[in-house]
Copies of this chain bind each other. A is one copy, B any other.
């Protein structure tokens, strides 16, 4: 089997990530991306509404995959089993991607505050959607949000660790290990200490909202 030839969308994505990495996101135009990919600007805009969508188009697809898996979990699955299925769906989708491209994407986003904000919003939206899917399954609100947040932590750290790791473990395996690490960490947690000043009756000097 020869080297896999990416389709137009894949070629545009590769070219865009390479250019964003080389000269920065703000300094790259759609026309330059198309040129690098050996395609026309019109083709670029047939695949992506703008430069940002190259980076974030996949986030929506990922969220849909994760939420569908959570919603479709067995009726007997508890909240963490259901989010486990969501994480499996994410591993399934992302595991087919290329680590070098994921690393490039991560580097581009980290270097740009605006893109970093957008990434945080996307992750937060995904967490909210997972929580909503859990609530629909009958999980009470608070637990649904905690489970969804834990899942997002594992997903985000898992992708990063998997993409930058130099071993051949699957993304699902890496996330499994992170879940186990979180479990061990929380087991070691003790009660939150009450500070001396909490028991005093002194009026606050200035308000802290």
Residues of B within 8 A of A113 (CB): 121
Whether the Cβ atoms of A191 and B176 lie closer than 8 Å is yes
Residues of B within 8 A of A135 (CB): none
Among A96, A118, A124, A147, the one with the most B-chain Cβ atoms within 10 Å of its Cβ is A96
Whether the Cβ atoms of B186 and A88 lie closer than 8 Å is no
Taking a contact as CB atoms closer than 8 A, the residue among B78, B88, B149 that contacts A195 in the complex is B88
A176-B91 Cα distance, complex, nearest whole Å: 32
Within 8 A of B (CB), among A86-136: 87-89, 91-98, 101-102, 104-105, 113, 116-118, 120-121, 124
Expressed in whole angstroms, the minimum distance between the Cβ of A39 and any Cβ of chain B is 15
Taking a contact as CB atoms closer than 8 A, the residue among B62, B95, B208 that contacts A97 in the complex is B208
Whether the Cβ atoms of B198 and A170 lie closer than 8 Å is yes
A183-B192 Cα distance, complex, nearest whole Å: 14
Taking a contact as CB atoms closer than 8 A, the residue among B81, B88, B96, B186 that contacts A150 in the complex is B186
Binary contact track A176-209/B, C-beta < 8 Å → 1, others 0: 1011011101111111111101100001111111
A17-B208 Cα distance, complex, nearest whole Å: 13
Binary contact track A141-158/B, C-beta < 8 Å → 1, others 0: 011011101100100010
Taking a contact as CB atoms closer than 8 A, the residue among B84, B143, B206 that contacts A193 in the complex is B84
Which residues from chain A sit less than 8 Å from chain B, CB to CB?
4, 6-7, 9-10, 13-14, 17, 55, 58, 61-62, 78-81, 84-85, 87-89, 91-98, 101-102, 104-105, 113, 116-118, 120-121, 124, 142-143, 145-147, 149-150, 153, 157, 161, 170, 172, 175-176, 178-179, 181-183, 185-195, 197-198, 203-209
**Additional A-B contacts beyond A142-B161, A146-B157, A146-B178 (8; CB < 8 A):** A79-B188, A85-B193, A88-B192, A92-B197, A146-B153, A149-B157, A150-B182, A153-B153
